[in-house]
Structure 1
C-alpha cells in the first residue's frame, strides 16, 4: 500500500511539474525526486518481501494494509512539508524577506 500511495504521489507531482511554467521557481523537481525515490525504495522492499513470503505476499491482513496506507500518507505528508520548507527558505517572490525587513 505504501508503494501505491507514493507512486500516485509521484505521478501526480510529475504531471504538475510538467505542466507548471514556474517549476524551477517553486522547486517542484525536488518534490518529484522525493516521491519517485520513495516509490523506488518501496518497490525494492516489495520485491524482497515477495522473495521472502512467496504467494503470501498477495494476501495481506486488512490491519497491515491500513497501517501501510497510513505510512504511505505520512511519507507523502513529510515530503510536502520538506518541499514547503525548501520553498519558504528560497522565498522566490520575496514575501518573507519583505515581512522580516518591516
Structure 2
C-alpha cells in the first residue's frame, strides 16, 4: 500500500510539474525526486519480498483452525492499515520538506527583499 500511495503522489506531482511554468521557482523537482525515490525504494522492497515469500506475499496465511485463520486475516488487515498510515506519513514528510525548501527559496520575496539588479 505504501508503494501505491507514493506512486500516486509521484504521478500527481509529475503532472503538476509538467503543467507549471515556474516549476524551478517552487522547487517542484525536489518533490518529484522524493516521491519517485520513495516509490522506487518500495518497488524494490516488494520485488524482494515477493521473491522470498512467493504468492503468500499477497494473501493472509491460513491457520490450522478457523480461529487461527480469522486471527491471521485480522493481522493482515491491521498490517495493511499500518502500511496506509506509513504511506501517508511519508507523503506528509515529503510535503513538509518541500514547504521548507520553498520557504527558504522565498520565490515571492515575502521574507526578504529581492537583490537589486544592476
Q: TM-score, normalised by structure 1?
A: 0.93
Per-residue deviation, 1:93: 1.2
Q: Where does the alignment leave 5 or more consecutive residues of structure 1 unmatched?
A: none
Partner of 1:90: 105
Q: Does 1:67 align with 2:82?
A: yes
Runs of at least 4 residues off by over 3 Å: none
What TM-score does the superposition give when structure 2 sets the normalisation length?
A: 0.80
Q: Larger RCO: Structure 1 or Structure 2 (Cα < 8 Å, ≥ 6 residues apart)?
A: 1
The 3-state SS of whatever aligns with 1:24 is coil
Cα RMSD, aligned residues only: 0.9
Supply the distance in 2 between the matched residues of 1:20 and 1:68 (Cα, whole angstroms): 31
Runs of 5+ unmatched residues, structure 2: 61-75, 114-118
| Equivalent residues, number | 98
| Structure 2 counterparts to residues 23-102 of structure 1, below 5 A | 23-60=23-60, 61-97=76-112
Q: Choose 1 or 2 for highest CA Rg.
A: 2
Q: Give the number of the structure whose residues are more often helix, by fraction.
A: 1
- How far apart are 1:53 and its partner, in Å? 1.1
